[in-house]
Structure 1
Amino acid sequence: METVLASIRQLAANANEAARRQLITTLHEIAYSLEDANDTVHRYGYLHLQTAAVKTGFDLGLFRFISASEGPVTVSQIADKTGADPLFLSRFLSYLASTGAVKEVAKDEFAANNVTKNLAEKVTEAGVSHCFETIGPQYQAIPAFLKKTNYKNPSDEMHTVFQDAWKTDKHAFAWFTDHPGQLDYFNDYMAFRREPALSWLTVYPVEQETQNWDGTRPVYVNVGGGIGHQCAQFKEKYPHIPGPVILQDLPHSIAKALPTPGVENTAHNFFEPQPVRGAKFYFARGVLHNHPDHKVRVLLGNIKSAMAPDSVILLDEMVLPETGVNSYAAAMDLTMMSAFASMERSEAQWRTIIEDVGLKLVKTYPYNPVSYESVMDIRLP
Structure 2
Amino acid sequence: MTTENKKTIDAIVALAKSLTKEEDEAERKKLLDTLRDVAYSLESPEDTMQRIMFYNLQLASIRVGIDLKIFEILSKSDIPMTVEQLAAKTACAPVLLSRILRYLASTATIKETGKDTFAGRGSSLFRLHRPSIPGPSRLPKRNPAWNTDMPAFIWVQTKPENFAHFNNWMAVQRHGMPTWLDVYPFQDKVRAFNLTAETPLFVDLGGGLGHQCIALRERLPELSGRVILQEIPATLPHAIAHEKVEHMAQDFFQPQAMKGAKFYYLRNILHDYHDEKCVLILKNIIAAMEKDSVILIDEMVLPNAGVHWQAAQLDMTMMTALASMERTKEQWYALMESAGLKINQIWTYTTSLQDSIIEAVPA
TM class by shorter-chain length?
0.5 to 0.7
Q: Relative to 1, partners in 2 of residues 1:125 and 1:183: Cα closer, same or farther, differing over 3 Å?
A: farther
For residues 213-224 of structure 1, what are the structure 2 equivalents within 5 Å? 213-224=195-206
2:218 alignment counterpart: 236
CA contact (8 A) 2:50 2:310 kept: no
**Is 2:158 the counterpart of 1:178?**
yes
2:242 counterpart of 1:265: no
Structure 2: tracts of 5 or more residues without a match: 23-32, 69-90, 97-141
Asked if the contact 2:177/2:350 (under 8 Å) is kept, the reply is no
The CA deviation string for residues 33-64 of structure 1, in whole angstroms up to 9 with x for no partner, is 98x9xxxxxxxxxxxxxxxxxxxxxxxxxxxx
Mapped pair 1:253 → 2:238? no
SS of equivalent to 2:214 = helix
Partner of 1:333: 315
Counterpart mapping for 1:20-99 below 5 A = none
Kindly indicate whether the alpha-carbon contact (under 8 Å) linking 2:311 and 2:352 is maintained by their aligned counterparts in 1.
no
Q: Which residue of 1 aligns with 2:257?
A: 275
For 2:167 and 2:339, the matched residues in 1 are separated by 30
Residue correspondences, number: 275
The Cα of 1:372 is off from its aligned counterpart by 0.8
CA distance in 1, matches of 2:50, 2:284: 31
TM-score w.r.t. the length of structure 2 is 0.63
Distance in 1 (alpha carbons) for counterparts of 2:252 and 2:48: 30
Matched to 2:208, the amino acid is G
SS at match of 1:283: strand
* 1:126/1:189 contact within 8 Å kept: no
Q: Which residue matches 2:306?
A: 324
Using the alignment, how far apart are the partners of 1:335 and 1:297 within structure 2?
22
- Select which of 348, 351, 354 maps to 2:330: 348
Which structure 2 residues correspond to residues 137-148 of structure 1 after superposition, within 5 A?
none
CA distance in 2, matches of 1:356, 1:341: 20
CA change 1:186–1:117 in 2 (3 A) is farther
Quote the offset at 1:196 in angstroms. Answer: 6.4
For residue 194 of structure 1, report the CA deviation from its aligned partner.
3.5
Alignment of 1:96-111 (within 5 A): none
Q: Which residue of 2 aligns with 1:368?
A: 350
Deviation at 1:127, TM superposition (A): 7.4
Amino acid in structure 1 at the alignment position of 2:203: V
2:105 alignment counterpart: none
Structure 1 residue 206, shift from structure 2 partner: 0.9
CA offsets per residue over residues 57-116 of structure 1, 9 Å max, x none? xxxxxxxxxxxxxxxxxxxxxxxxxxxxxxxxxxxxxxxxxx99xx9xxxxxxxxx9979
Tell me the CA shift for residue 131 of structure 1.
Answer: 6.9
Q: Partner residue of 1:209?
A: 189
Distance in 1 of aligned mates of 2:167 and 2:143:
22
User: What's the RMSD between the two structures over aligned residues?
Assistant: 4.0
Alpha-carbon separation, structure 2, partners of 1:217 and 1:160: 42
What is the deviation of 1:256? 1.5
Deviation string 1:244-271 (CA, Å, 9 cap, x unpaired) is: 1111122333221111221112222111
Matched to 1:244, the amino acid is R
After superposing on structure 2, the runs of 4+ consecutive aligned residues of structure 1 that deviate more than 3 Å are: 113-119, 123-132, 150-154, 159-162, 194-197
Asked which structure has the greater RCO (Cα within 8 Å, sep 6+), the reply is 2
Instruction: Name 1:287's counterpart in structure 2.
Output: 269
Unaligned runs of 5+ in 1: 1-9, 16-22, 37-98, 104-112
The one-letter code sitting in structure 2 at the alignment partner of 1:173 is F
Could you tell me how far apart the structure 2 residues matched to 1:278 and 1:176 are? 32
Kept in 1: contact 2:54–2:313 (CA 8 A) = no
Q: TM-score, normalised by structure 1?
A: 0.61
Percent of matched pairs sharing the same residue: 34
Q: Is the 8 A contact 1:217 1:244 kept in 2?
A: yes
